[in-house]
Structure 1
């Protein structure tokens, strides 16, 4: 599988117990949605390898999973910090006004006056359900400043995937 077909939904943080279970850090919302996928692709040493998810469950504030072929602690530890992904065609269909974060990476961010603020470098959850986009300078940017913009309806007015742009109500002096 090529990186272009796989989208990262989380990562394995470490081993859990002695029977090969792994602790999972999920980027999905809710976090348990990652367990809905019966096959995970795990990137180890730059290569994606397919693993069947035998079991998965919440454990404390996180998730743990049992993967086919990973049956002891040493094998589980060998997956430490490896990305978990799935093929794009397995992602659920979204409503018209919804987007996956990976679709927004690289889009130009332009304010209502047509000023280019930069392009989306990443999105992250800042806690409490608040999403933030990191906007880095790009060709045509008003300046070389990196910005953190709240990804909320008050500031994000339109996402145009086909046009490669996000329109925001944001003053470049902020």
Structure 2
């Protein structure tokens, strides 16, 4: 597992459900049950220990995404999976549609406003429910910029490694 720089976090195990070894997982794929298409997974615990896992089956119940891991047959074994992150190689994901981006592809890009002021690099993105937010960090500060195109995010150039934003550097 030496491609850790090129892995994408797709979800995490939330906890056991029932007595037969099923777990609830949080999936950031669309649709949520598409996470099962991208196996094998690399499971990472809070200490950074990793292991490969394949053959996970599951379904979206509407309320939860439920998963059954191979060799997990009871609640105790399922509870031991709680908190594990689910990573896959970036190469396992299909190319994004034109005008769409995987968040992981934006992380590390330079962020510059329309006036040419450098605002740092994309640290990460997160969802608020209302809209996504791009976090740009430099040595001095962190800026949270709504990921709303084209109002605030005016251009993304993956080849140049640049995100252009219409954003006041003082905000």
Give the TM bin, normalised by the shorter chain.
0.7 to 0.9
Which sections of structure 1, spanning at least 5 residues, go unmatched?
Answer: 139-143
The answer to whether the Cα contact below 8 Å between 1:40 and 1:53 also exists between their aligned partners in 2 is no
Report the CA distance between 1:158 and its aligned residue: 1.2
For 2:105, the equivalent position in structure 1 comes to 103
- Tell me which residue corresponds to 1:40: 41
Offset, 1:60: 5.0
Contact 1:109–1:119 (Cα < 8 Å) also in 2: yes
Unaligned runs of 5+ in 2: none
**2:36, 2:56 within 8 Å by CA — same for their partners in 1?**
no
Range 25-34 or range 118-127, more displaced: 25-34
- Tell me the equivalent position of 1:27: 28
Q: Secondary structure in 2 aligned to 1:127?
A: coil
Residue aligning to 1:125: 127
The separation in 1 between residues aligned to 2:7 and 2:113, in whole angstroms, is 32
Alignment pair present for 1:58 and 2:54? no
Distance in 1 (CA, whole Å) between partners of 2:29 and 2:120 is 26
2:144 to 141, 148, 159: 148
Structure 1 residue matching 2:54: 3-state secondary structure: strand
Per-residue CA deviations over 1:24-59 (Å, capped at 9, x if unaligned) read 011223323213335322123523322234431123
When the two structures are superposed, what TM-score results if normalisation uses the length of structure 2? 0.88
The secondary structure found in structure 2 opposite 1:4 is: helix
What is aligned with 1:141?
A: none
Counterpart Cα distance in 2 of 1:113 and 1:17: 56
| 1:171 aligned onto 2:168 | yes
